[in-house]
Structures are given as structure tokens and as C-alpha cells.
Structure 1
């Protein structure tokens, strides 16, 4: 009996392993290609799958990535280099996003790391090496210079038209992170708070709190607590907490305070911001203004849930008014009836006296 159970368990494990392998293979086939980084002699951490390099100032080297086609038809893969940034969700991005900002980079990794193989044409099953030339800045720096090597399969015009008619555009991509270490690691970060502004995300009003990581080092396990009050008042108008965020070196985290489906109210406000990253802590207080023009501009485009509290209040007031009218009518009719009875009694007395 025990042997039977063992066979059943091993059979289940074997089935799951095959199932997982099929899923991985399906993902690669859907993408149409794979990327395999070739180990570099300058690799600092041999256990990671991305490029983690330690180079001297002005040193030059080359790293290689093998691009393999898993497609049944010829494909073209486009490659580019992008600096690491932080998005509005507190996640590090290794792709190029114009809305993500940087702050005081020691160098632009998009110029430090280059390639002349921006387009790779592959036949089915073909493998081609893509070489990236790295030329470190002449001036020594401390910390890390971080970016990503991006690979995107070029979509044919027919597929774009087919997908766009359905409102969907599938695009398969891979990213390999690259970390270039400077002279020494930095363990203490400097942070500042930028100008607080209003904007929208997915047609929802948000108050943008820009946190500037001014140091060439990652910030991990980032938590934030934001309290916004009307200037001179103690009651909080908006509060928000976030946790488990990450900031790229020398990046700006445009922290959005999401106010939901509510309208901006013009006025002067004070924001109190508390940021924590492991053992590091920062506190900021800054005033900002939401003008009538800004509020009107965003409220016209925002998804706003109508405030129906006024409806309940108006119903209560209407009910009270109707009740008062009813009381007045009843009182008037009662008084009228009393006067009629009095007049009838007076008339009967006159008749009896005659």
C-alpha cells in the first residue's frame, strides 16, 4: 500500500514538472525569442542573472547577450538601453518612460552603454550575439549606475492592424538589468521633497508628492505616510499610507495621493510626509495651493462620484416644510370649524330670545 502511494506521489510530481516546463516553453514560443546574457569577467556577483559589473573610471569593456529565435517564422528584435527610474507605484522600471524623472545622475547610462546592433533579424531557431560597449565615465563616482537592456519583438503591420481592430496590441519584451558599480558603495541616502502639484491618473484626481532620491543607491522597503490638511487647521482632509516600495538610484518617485472619485477643492493646504526605508527616516512639511483654475480644469475631465448628501438633506427639509404646512392647515380648519359653531350657537340664542 505504501509503495502504491509513493508511486502516485511521484507520478503527480512528474506531471507537475512536465506541466510547468510546458508553460515555460509556451511563454517562450509566444514571445518568439529568448535572451541569454553571457557571463562577463567583470561580473561582481556570480549568482545573479543580470549584469553586475565593477569597472574602473574610463575603463572600457564589452558584454554580450545571445538572442535566440523560438519562432516558426523570421522575426526582428529591437534592442535599446534605458536608465532605471521609479514609477508612480513605487516600482523600479528598467524601460524608457518619459514621465519618469531622474535626479543628479553621476552619468547617463544610455550613453555609457551603447550598441550598433539596434535591430536583430533572426531566422527560425537562429541565435545571434548582441554586443554592448561599455565606456565608464572619466570622473570617478560612488554608488551605482543602473539601467536595463531591453529587447522587443517588432510587430508586423498586419498584426498591428488585426490587434488594433480588437483594441489589443500584444508586444513581447525582455529586460536584462545592468548595474555598474562606482568606487565605493553608498549606504546613506539623501532625500528631498519637490514641488507638490495636482494631476490625474486614469481620469482620477491625484495630488503628486515628488520624492527625490539624490543618492546613487537603491532605496528598498520604502513606506510613506501622507497627511494633508487645510492650512491652519488640525483636521486631515486626505491621508494615505504605502508600503514595500522601491526607488532607483537618483530617481524621482512621483507619489500620487489618490483622492478617489472626488473633486479638487480650491484652497491652501499643508502636506506632512513621512518616508522610511529600512533604518533611514525622513520627514517633510510643505505648503501648496490648488487654484480655482486647476480645480476646474481637472474636475471637468475627472471621474467624480456625485455627492448625494444634499439630496437627503433637501428631502428632510421638504418633509419638515410639508409637516408644518399640514399642521397649519389642520389648525386653520379647526379654528374655522370653531368659529362656525360659535356663530351657529349665537344665531340659535337670538332665535330663542325672540
Structure 2
């Protein structure tokens, strides 16, 4: 659970701290962890502190906790796409002022109204109070014009709300599997869903892809120590190692475990030729697979060799046939020649008698 500042350049123009109420479960925590009742309305308080000589305008949002694609609980996204199993999003049971002006070298209290669902429930509602400095209009105009400006920073204070101490068993489902990309690199994304109102801690996932009906692993990605927000989902990525997608049918074999539970799935999916072509064209640092060209080249070489062998064989056969015919003709001539000389010799003998 966060009480955190996120900044790239270290320029923090304000700070925040939670004012913990009486129904705070653990007073040592710096975030809100509250025991509530069905239908209860409560005001939470956060102190904004400005230690500088210039006033600062702080923008605040009450965000529902989600799970990002790195397997981390994320409180920073305003109006994210929420999971279908989430009945009471933190953003919908919370009201707060969007902007607060904090004078120079002073502090200002921000109040956040929370209204619990009327129906009693086991489990938790999880969200975050997200604060960032309002961007200066001049800087915003420069940004639109393409001028580089300094980084902004933000604070997030976690809010965990519960009504009972009843333990809720987590449950996970494997959803859609599809070819996709991260930073223009080919991946297969498998949607994992936590369907229960409980935070999933120390989630370990092993995933591998095979051709459908085959055992050999083509690609695999394993991740440890992930966390999931209650009633949330995220896309778990299996990296394709900078290789081309090939159209075909595949099977995803996946195992997910935490300290006390284990889930196992084998699910088929397909990458179409159109998907493979489109994503391969967009991919960077792609290691092209020339195997099919090698095979085609080898087949073409074999066919060419067969054609040459056949043509050479035909040529040799024709030569042999010509030689046979020529020899046959010569033999006939030799046989005919003695018959032609006999009449001449007989004639000579007759003329001698005379």
C-alpha cells in the first residue's frame, strides 16, 4: 500500500500525509486502512504541505486500484477500464475537490467523502488518493508546441476499506489469449483475472506456448512476486524473443500460484495470417526466420537436379539409340556388298570360254 512520490527530476513542490482517523485498523501505517460499516459515510483528511515561497495548485483524484501489465497494483490511473466483477469501485463511492490551492509556506487540509455500499460484504475495497501539481498553462502551450519541459511528480496514498475480518479465498480465471506487441516487440498476451474482493500477494506465474497437439516448448515467460488488486485483471505477456509470428494454432500452458492456492490451465488459441503479417511488419529488431526459404531453395535445387538428370538421361538414351541405328545400318551394308559382286565374277568366267 503506497504513500509514495513519483518523480523523475526530484523537484517536489509539495508533500502529502494522511490524517489517520479513529477507525484506522493499524495506526503505524501511513495509508488509510479502515474498518467500516454498510452505508457508513466518512470524511477522510489529507494534509497538503507547501514549503516554498510560491503557491501551488494541487490536482487530486480518487482512483480505483487496478493491476497493471507488470503485475503491480496501480493507483495512478484516473478512469481506467474496470473489471466486470468489481461491484463497488473506489472512485464511485468517493467524492473530493479536484483542485486545491496551497498558499506559500503553509499547509491545507483536503477532505474526501467516502460512502460505503449499503449491502454488507466480505473482502476489501481498494483505491488510492492521487495528487499532482497542476501544470502551468505556459508549460502546457510549450508542450503542445513540442518544447521539452521538466518532469512532473505525484503522490499516491492508498485506501483500504473493509467491513469484516472474514478471509476471502482468491480465485483466478484465464481469459482471452491474443497475439500483440509491447514497444513494437511481438508478444502473446493472456488475460488473468482476480474475480474476488481480495488482494493477491506473491503471485508466481509460469507460462509456455506449444504448437497445438505438440509437446515441444516454443516460447516461455516466468514471473514471480506479482500482486493483483481485488476484482481486477491484467495481460500477462509471453515474449516471442524478437521472432516472427507464424500463422497457426497454438496451446498456452499456464500455472499460477501464491502461498496457499494453485491454478493450472491449458488453452488453445490461434494466430491468423492477417494478424501475423500486420504485427511482423510493425515489429522492430525482428529476427526473421528464413527456414521456409531454405527449404524452398533445397526443394528447388533437388527439382533442378532431377530435371538435369532426366534431361541428361534422355540425351544419353538418344545418343545410344542413334549409335545403334548407325551400327545397324552399317551391318546391313556389309551383308549386302558380297551379293552385289557375284554376278560380275560369273560374267568374267563366261567371257573367258569364248
**Which band: TM-score by shorter chain?**
0.7 to 0.9
| Number of residue equivalences | 294
The verdict on how the C-alpha distance between 1:173 and 1:288 changes in structure 2, with shifts beyond 3 A counting, is same
Distance 1:167 1:265 in 2: 41
The verdict on how the C-alpha distance between 1:299 and 1:232 changes in structure 2, with shifts beyond 3 A counting, is same
Distance 1:281 1:247 in 2: 15
1:299 correspondence with 2:299: no
1:221 correspondence with 2:221: no
The verdict on how the C-alpha distance between 1:218 and 1:134 changes in structure 2, with shifts beyond 3 A counting, is same
Which of the numbers 70, 87, 91 marks the counterpart of 1:110? 91
Which of the numbers 188, 191, 196 marks the counterpart of 2:172? 191
Distance 1:62 1:191 in 2: 34
Where does structure 1 differ by over 6 angstroms across 4 or more consecutive aligned residues?
26-29
2:132 is matched with which residue? 152
The verdict on how the C-alpha distance between 1:268 and 1:308 changes in structure 2, with shifts beyond 3 A counting, is closer
TM-score, reference length from structure 2: 0.76
TM-score, reference length from structure 1: 0.76
CA RMSD after TM alignment: 2.8
1:34 is matched with which residue? 15
Say whether the 8 Å CA contact 1:113–1:132 is kept in structure 2.
yes
Distance 1:27 1:70 in 2: 20
1:288 is matched with which residue? 269
Say whether the 8 Å CA contact 1:263–1:304 is kept in structure 2.
no
Aligned-residue offset at 1:169:
5.1
Unaligned runs of 5+ in 2: 302-354
Distance 1:266 1:29 in 2: 47
1:207-246 correspondence runs (5 A): 207-246=188-227
Unaligned runs of 5+ in 1: 1-23, 321-354
The verdict on how the C-alpha distance between 1:223 and 1:102 changes in structure 2, with shifts beyond 3 A counting, is same
Aligned-residue offset at 1:282:
0.5
SS state of the match for residue 60, structure 2?
strand
